[in-house]
Structure 1
Amino acid sequence: MTRPRITCLFAQYHPAGLLPPHVRHYLGELAASGMTVHLALSGVRTLSSDIARFCTARGIVPHLRPNRGMDFGAWQDLLAAGCAQGADRVVLANDSVFGPLHPLAPILERMMARPADVWGLVESRAPVWHLQSWFLCFGADALAHPAIRRVLAQPFAEMTKQEIILHGELGLGTAIRAAGLRAAAAWADTARGPRRLVPANPMHVDWLSIARSPDTPFIKVELLRDNPCGIGWTGAWRDLLATRDHFPAAWIDDALRGRPAGTCVAGWKSRLLFLLISRDRPAILRAMTRRRPATVPAMSPPAVAR
């Protein structure tokens, strides 16, 4: 049986034009799984020799572009450049997560075998049904569907972040269903109990259960950096990584150090609600009895992305 040709379009941005160790790790895992990886380096005008060597060693194709349109703008530019031509499946991914916390190739093999036109790693119903856009895989026919093409052809460079989320990520969810495409997710956002009435972002409210899952070993950068929902058990990430050796904690320490944190917008009522609806309840109980320091250590041991 002929192995399908899989292309990954990866959107990356760093304010200093760097390619941090945790992103190199992710890119290396994607390339090692057999994908052809096209890397959109947003805001980078000149390719550094260091990044060039990294890409060459792993068969990754770098693309320099202006920093506009965020991840959807980057994917749009890569599609316009013909990077997905000839691919049987196209993965859209970005650098908004830490991970994978364990090898990615077996996860991709399991998901690729599922009978789906499009699949993602995490499903969400907040605020409406969609597959979270930080990792999506489209079959060639699904990507070429007029409903999907219309979403990806929008002027993302002219949009704000919230508009891109609305018209891009949520728009894809609407288009997938309107087109009748078969969709699947490694992590299903099951509506049980209060969750039927209160949709919430699983990558925040259920983050620990997701990160521990064999098929979704990722943590959102936004969760650890900004924690906009005021999730009270984010400090458990260090204990989680202490139990595995595929992803050093130093990579997260280094990524968070010196980066301005956002503001928590959740009030105490919302925080209490998140406690009640989370699948992370055992971790929540432990967090209530053991407080961890919230600051990032001044120094961390050196770590090199494999």
Structure 2
Amino acid sequence: MSDQPWAQVDLERLRRARRLCLFAHYHQDAVVAEHVLRYLQALGAAGFTVLVLSTSPLPDAECAKLRAVGAEVALRENRGMDFGGWIEACLELFPIEAELLLLANDSVYAPLGDLPAFVETLVDTEADFYGALESLEVAPHLPEPGSCCCALPPTPRTRLPRSCAHRCPRWAASLRWYCGTRSA
């Protein structure tokens, strides 16, 4: 793992992105699976600039695969799992100019259809939060945080200055709870 995960990341490209995806990644064998590359390509086709936050010690050849599909790559220690990576990225990047911030991970096999059309269908409806969350496995339910993707449109609550907690105390509290840092 790099002790400077942001050294090779184009932070300004990410901050200026029209649509930004923070993509949590882990593979026990330190590789990038084919389904991940297909997912990242579909995200790019849907207009997202992608930052892959990997907690695997990816060799240069695997990082090159991610960059070949247009992703920025940050190799980070596994602190807080997916939510920890998303928080770390928010603290590094915010404020951002994105109209959508997508939180996603590699445990979702996507796209199963036309992802750009799906995203456009979502954003055609005005909302504070969009998500592809429902699971029908066993019985209909919302899956655990981190096994879903969600997008936040630009509102005063999503244009955070440098701290996720500043204008989104409930969201930040949920992230802190998930990451095991329950203090306020």
TM-score > 0.5 by shorter chain? yes
For 2:40 and 2:94, the matched residues in 1 are separated by: 16
Query: Do residues 30 (structure 1) and 43 (structure 2) align?
Result: yes
Query: Do residues 75 (structure 1) and 89 (structure 2) align?
Result: no
Q: Which amino acid aligns with 1:55?
A: L
Structure 1-normalised TM-score? 0.44
| 1:116-139 Cα deviation digits (max 9, x unpaired) | 1101012477489x9885110012
For 2:120 and 2:142, the matched residues in 1 are separated by: 30
Paired residues for 1:10-25 under 5 Å: 10-25=23-38
Do the aligned residues in 1 keep the contact of 2:54 with 2:76 (CA within 8 Å)?
A: yes
Do the aligned residues in 1 keep the contact of 2:21 with 2:49 (CA within 8 Å)?
A: yes
Do the aligned residues in 1 keep the contact of 2:134 with 2:141 (CA within 8 Å)?
A: no
Paired residues for 1:200-215 under 5 Å: none
Structure 2-normalised TM-score? 0.71
Q: Which residue of 2 aligns with 1:93?
A: 104
For 2:148 and 2:142, the matched residues in 1 are separated by: 17
> SS of 1:97's equivalent?
coil
Q: Which residue of 2 aligns with 1:62?
A: 73
Do the aligned residues in 2 keep the contact of 1:122 with 1:132 (CA within 8 Å)?
A: no
Q: Which residue of 2 aligns with 1:135?
A: 149
Segments of 5+ residues of structure 1 without an aligned counterpart are 160-166, 168-306
Aligned-residue Cα RMSD (Å) equals: 2.9
Q: 1:84 to 1:99 in 2, by over 3 A?
A: farther
| 1:84-124 Cα deviation digits (max 9, x unpaired) | 62222100001112221222111111111111110101247
Query: Do residues 148 (structure 1) and 163 (structure 2) align?
Result: no
Q: Which amino acid aligns with 1:136?
A: C
Q: Which residue of 2 aligns with 1:118?
A: 129
| 1:223-278 Cα deviation digits (max 9, x unpaired) | xxxxxxxxxxxxxxxxxxxxxxxxxxxxxxxxxxxxxxxxxxxxxxxxxxxxxxxx
Specify which structure has the higher proportion of helix.
1
Q: 1:155 to 1:66 in 2, by over 3 A?
A: farther
Aligned residues: 153
Q: 1:69 to 1:6 in 2, by over 3 A?
A: same
Which is greater in Rg?
Answer: 1
Do the aligned residues in 2 keep the contact of 1:11 with 1:95 (CA within 8 Å)?
A: yes
Q: Which residue of 1 aligns with 2:61?
A: 50
